[in-house]
C-alpha cells in the first residue's frame, strides 16, 4: 500500500520531471508538441527553405514515418485524389494528362533516409546517387493504385523527376518497372538542358511544354512544393507528406 502511494506520488509529481530531464532542453521537446508545429510549418511551406530536420525532432519524425501516421496522411490525400478523379472523364483525343513526381511520390526513399537519421543529417548528393543507382526503392502502394487507376481511365501519365537522366536513367526506369509502374506516357528526367535549374523551374518548364503540345493537365501529385508550383501546375495539385527533406 505504501509503495503504491509512493508510485502514485511519483507519477503525479515526478514523472513529468523525469521525462523533461531526459529530452533535449531545446524548444523542440515532445511535451509541448513543437515538433508537430515544426512539421505542420514544413508541410504548409512556411519554412522554405529548410536544410535539415532539427535533431531534437529525430524521434518524432522517425515515429511519424514508421508508426502509421505517414501512411494515414498519404491515404487521406489519396482519398481526395479519387474524389476528384470521380468528377472528371478523359476524352478520346489522348490529351488528358496527370503529372506525378517520382521520389517519395511513386517510390519511397524511407530505407535510405533511415541511414540519414530521417533527414537530421545534411543532404548527401553522392550517397543519394549510390542509393538511387541500386534501383531498390519500393513503390508507395497507395500511389501505385492511383497510377493504375489513371491509366485504366484513359489518362496520359507523365512522370517528372529531377533525377539526372545520364546517371540515373537506367536504374530509375528499371526501378519503376519492377515496382509495377508500367504504362506511363513518358518518364521525363533532368538532362543537360536543365542543368542548374531549380526543381520548380525545371518541372514547370516541362509542364508548359506539355500544355503547348495540347495536353490538359488535370492533376499533379508530388511530395515537394517545387513539384506543384509555377506555371501549368494542373487543375488540382496534391501534396504528399514529406518531413524528411526539402527540394527547392
Ligand atoms: C532534355 O529533356 C527535354 C524535355 O524532356 C527534351 O525536350 C530534350 O530533348 C532533352 N535534351 C537532351 C539533350 O536530351
Ligand atoms: Mg519527390
List the domain boundaries for the chain.
Answer: 30-239
3-state secondary structure 36-99: HHHHHHHHCCCCCCCCCCCHHHHHHHHHHHHCCHHHHHHHHHHHHHHHHHCCCCCCCCCCEEEE
CA of 165, closest atom in ligand 1? 14
Q: Which residue has the cell 500511389?
A: 143
Q: Name the grid cell of 70.
A: 505517414
- Say if residues 201 and 230 touch (Cβ distance below 8 Å): yes
pLDDT in tens, 45-87: 999 999 999 999 999 999 999 999 999 999 999 999 999 999 9
Tell me if 130 CB under 6 Å of ligand 1: no
Tell me if 212 CB under 6 Å of ligand 1: no
> What is the distance in A from the centroid of ligand 1 to the CA of 207?
13
Strands (E), 102-168: 156-164
CA of 191, closest atom in ligand 1? 1
Residue 125 class from Cβ within 10 Å (0-12 exposed, 13-18 middle, 19+ buried)?
exposed
CA of 188, closest atom in ligand 1? 5
| Ligand 1 pocket mutation pick from 191, 192, 204 by most atoms within 8 angstroms of CB | 191
pLDDT in tens, 2-49: 454 444 444 444 444 434 444 454 555 555 589 999 999 999 999 999
Tell me if 22 CB under 6 Å of ligand 1: no
**What pTM was estimated for this model as a whole?**
0.88
What pLDDT does residue 33 have? 87
Say which ligand is closest to the CA of 203: 1
3-state secondary structure of 177: helix
What pLDDT does residue 12 have? 44
C-alpha span between 221 and 122 (Å, rounded): 25
Tell me if 188 CB under 6 Å of ligand 1: yes
What pLDDT does residue 202 have? 97
Residue nearest to atom 14 of ligand 1 (CA): 191
The CATH number fitting domain 30-239, selected from 3.40.50.10490, 3.40.50.620, 3.40.50.720, 3.40.50.1000: 3.40.50.1000
In the chain, pLDDT over 90 holds for what percent of residues? 86
C-alpha span between 155 and 4 (Å, rounded): 65
3-state secondary structure of 4: helix
CA of 192, closest atom in ligand 1? 13
3-state secondary structure of 8: helix
Amino acid at each position: 500500500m505504501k509503495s503504491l502511494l509512493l508510485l502514485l506520488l511519483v507519477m503525479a509529481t515526478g514523472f513529468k520531471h523525469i521525462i523533461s530531464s531526459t529530452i533535449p532542453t531545446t524548444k523542440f521537446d515532445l511535451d509541448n508538441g513543437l515538433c508537430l508545429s515544426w512539421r505542420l510549418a514544413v508541410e504548409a511551406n512556411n519554412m522554405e527553405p529548410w536544410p535539415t530536420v532539427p535533431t531534437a525532432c529525430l524521434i518524432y519524425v522517425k515515429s511519424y514515418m514508421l508508426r502509421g501516421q505517414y501512411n494515414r496522411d498519404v491515404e487521406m490525400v489519396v482519398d481526395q485524389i479519387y474524389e476528384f478523379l470521380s468528377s472528371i472523364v478523359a476524352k478520346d483525343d489522348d490529351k488528358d494528362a496527370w503529372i506525378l513526381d517520382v521520389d517519395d511520390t511513386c517510390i519511397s526513399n524511407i530505407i535510405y533516409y533511415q541511414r540519414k537519421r530521417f533527414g537530421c543529417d545534411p543532404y548527401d548528393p553522392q550517397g543519394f546517387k549510390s542509393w538511387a543507382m541500386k534501383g531498390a526503392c519500393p513503390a508507395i502502394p497507395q500511389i501505385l493504385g492511383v497510377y493504375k487507376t489513371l491509366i485504366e481511365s484513359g489518362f496520359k501519365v507523365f512522370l517528372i523527376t529531377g533525377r539526372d537522366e545520364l546517371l540515373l536513367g537506367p536504374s530509375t526506369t528499371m526501378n519503376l518497372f519492377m515496382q509495377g509502374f508500367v504504362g506511363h506516357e513518358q518518364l521525363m528526367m533532368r538532362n543537360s538542358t536543365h542543368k542548374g535549374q531549380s526543381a520548380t523551374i525545371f518541372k514547370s518548364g516541362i509542364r508548359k511544354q506539355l500544355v503547348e503540345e495540347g495536353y490538359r493537365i488535370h492533376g499533379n501529385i508530388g511530395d515537394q512544393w517545387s513539384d506543384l508550383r509555377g506555371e501549368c501546375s494542373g487543375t488540382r495539385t496534391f501534396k504528399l507528406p514529406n518531413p524528411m527533406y526539402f527540394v527547392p
